[in-house]
């Protein structure tokens, strides 16, 4: 690695932004249900409770009873109706069942058509992440061009930095492809 504070800062920023893009994509993918009961689908649901908004996962225990059923056991049973309403409004495509003690979410078996729709959706999300990473590469290259124009570094050092940026972006894109392929495989597995 070239010993230059500006270059180190640029590379650190590039790595940090790429990691955030990958983590954001994984977070979005976790919320997509694949026909199996996954408690992470409830991570983004907020419930009106105690005069404010609270995350559903902070109000009780969520457990998978089997491959297609989640159970929400609330610490305060008076919130059952509010949680049920929040789940219905979240558009996750599952109707909650409230028995007065717990809420159950039964995931329907996904049709092949629905699986293909979800694959299209995850590929679109993946493409958006790729665009973010390409934009990050462009930003890093712009920094290097400015340094070259200002003659802060030699041509050889700039070429080495550009190669390092390309290598990092290539590695990141490979990770991204792996994340997309894994989610696609999960969705298409019956």
Instruction: Dump pLDDT digits (tens) for 43-93.
Output: 788 888 888 888 888 888 888 888 778 888 888 888 888 888 888 888 777
Cα–Cα distance, 136 to 100 (Å, whole number): 51
Task: Return the DSSP state at 61.
Answer: E
Give the DSSP H or E segment for 188. Answer: helix 155-188
- Domain identity same for 100 and 44: yes
DSSP class of residue 157 equals H
Choose the final residue of a domain: 106, 130, 163.
106
- My answer on whether 136 and 179 are in the same domain is yes
> CATH number, domain at 138?
1.10.132.20
Q: Which of 56, 89, 106 is the last residue of a domain?
A: 106
Is residue 33 predicted with pLDDT exceeding 70? no
Q: Are residues 155 and 88 in the same domain?
A: no
- Considering the domain architecture, whether residues 82 and 115 belong to the same structural domain is answered as no
Tell me: the pLDDT tens digits for 143-177? Answer: 889 888 888 888 888 899 999 999 999 999 999 99
Q: Quick one: which of 111, 110, 30, 107 has its CA closest to 69?
A: 107
Q: What pLDDT is attached to residue 1?
A: 43
**Count of structural domains within the chain:** 2
Domain limits at 158? 5-31+111-188
Residue 177: per-residue pLDDT? 95
Q: 31: how many CB neighbours lie within 10 A of its CB?
A: 15
Q: Are residues 122 and 179 in the same domain?
A: yes
- pLDDT recorded at residue 35: 63
3-state SS assignment for residue 124: helix
Shared domain for 118 and 95, answered yes or no, is no
- Whole-angstrom Cα distance, residue 151 to residue 145? 10
Identify whether residues 165 and 183 lie together within a single domain.
yes
The domain boundary residue, chosen from 106, 122, 140: 106
Count of beta carbons in the 10 Å neighbourhood of residue 34? 19
Whether 130 and 117 share a structural domain: yes
Per DSSP, 64 falls in state E
Same domain for 136 and 169?
A: yes
Mean pLDDT along residues 104-127:
85
The verdict on 81 and 44 lying in the same domain is yes
The span from the CA of 157 to the CA of 83, in Å, is 58
């Amino acid at each position: 690695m070239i010993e230059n504070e500006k270059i180190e800062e640029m590379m650190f920023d590039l790595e940090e932004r790429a990691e955030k893009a990958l983590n954001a994509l994984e977070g979005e993918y976790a919320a997509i249900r694949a026909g199996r009961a996954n408690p992470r689908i409830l991570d983004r649901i907020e419930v009106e409770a105690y005069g404010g908004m609270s995350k559903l996962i902070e109000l009780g225990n969520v457990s998978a009873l089997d491959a297609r059923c989640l159970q929400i056991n609330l610490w305060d049973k008076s919130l059952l109706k509010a949680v049920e309403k929040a789940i219905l409004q979240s558009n996750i495509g599952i109707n909650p069942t409230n028995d007065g003690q717990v809420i159950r979410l039964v995931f329907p078996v996904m049709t092949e058509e629905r699986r293909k729709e979800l694959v299209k959706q995850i590929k679109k999300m993946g493409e958006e992440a790729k665009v973010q990473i390409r934009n990050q590469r462009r930003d890093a290259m712009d920094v290097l061009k400015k340094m070259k124009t200002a003659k802060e570094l030699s041509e050889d050092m700039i070429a080495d930095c550009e190669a390092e940026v390309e290598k990092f972006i290539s590695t990141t894109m490979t990770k991204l492809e792996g994340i997309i392929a894994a989610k696609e495989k999960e969705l298409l597995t019956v």
